A and B are shown apart, each in its own frame.
Chain A
Amino acid sequence: MSSTFDQVAQIIAETCDIPRDTITPDSHAIDDLGIDSLDFLDIAFAIDKAFGIKLPLEKWTQEVNDGKATTEQYFVLKNLCARIDELVAAKGAGAA
């Protein structure tokens, strides 16, 4: 978890030019860090590459738009990292 967060925080810092020390597990990517949808594509690309996964951004966005999920579930960094860990685990299970 901490390693996932460290990687994600570093990606965000480098991609969006946000000071690393302002990024915490409780930061909301949109509300706290001010990351917009276009910048988040760059972040998603970097995360996809770093973790060998495909963040289901469309599904998440649809769920938020439909009121089935909150942005906090996906865009607060500790929650985002948990989702990444799940995707990595699922990928590993699929490959086994």
Chain B
Amino acid sequence: MQLEYFQMIDRILDLNTVEKTIAVEAQVPTTSTVFEGHFPGYPIMPGVLLIESMAQTSGWLLVALMKFERMPFLAAVKEAKMRGFVAPGELLTVEASVVHEGSGYAITEAKVKVGGKLRSNATITFSHVPFPNPDLRGHMDAVARRIGFPSQAIA
């Protein structure tokens, strides 16, 4: 996880395109400029970054279901709950599942867990469009390799 670059996901643990579920791992760094301000003397992971982690996890699931032909963009976050603090150095497991696949949009439910215990959850809406340019597609391919996207899952 590199908070400053919005690289929230380290590794895909499981991707099931039949069940439409995904689980990823995300190691919160022990140090980051983010923690210098949030908060001085009491560093905790900002809730918005937990939401971003759930959005990215959901996004990879949708990218897989759409076979890398379309890019999901965050459209709405509902029922986002921060149930417990996440501290520097903690290992997150982020899970997501598809609630609904509409025409040009999708809705997921996602959870952040630490040691099996729920720390955050949200219902997230995405709009999705064909990749707007080759650069973004190339970036997503590179990230997919970095996080171990199982290409056989969409073969």
The chain A residues found within 8 Å of chain B, CB to CB, are 38, 41-42, 44-45, 48-49, 54-59, 61
Measured between alpha carbons, how far is A41 from B106 in the docked complex, in Å? Answer: 9
C-alpha gap A11/B3 in the complex (Å):
39
Instruction: Kindly state whether residue B84 has any CB partner on chain A within 8 Å.
Output: no
Question: Are A48's CB and B75's CB within 8 A?
Answer: no
Residues of A within 8 Å of B33, CB to CB, are none
| Cβ contact of B103, chosen from A38, A49, A57, cutoff 8 A | A57
Seen from chain B, the residues whose Cβ lies within 8 Å of a Cβ on chain A are 75-76, 100-105, 107, 125, 127
Set of chain B residues within 8 Å of A55, measured between Cβ atoms: 102-103
Within the complex, what minimum Cβ distance (angstroms) separates A55 from chain B?
6
A45-B102 CB under 8 A given contacts A38-B75, A38-B76: yes
**Smallest CB-CB separation from A39: which chain B residue?**
B76
List, sorted by A's number, 24 A–B pairs whose CB atoms are closer than 8 Å.
A41-B75, A41-B102, A41-B105, A41-B125, A42-B76, A42-B125, A44-B103, A44-B105, A45-B102, A45-B105, A45-B107, A48-B100, A48-B102, A49-B100, A54-B101, A54-B103, A55-B102, A56-B103, A57-B102, A57-B104, A58-B103, A58-B104, A59-B103, A61-B104
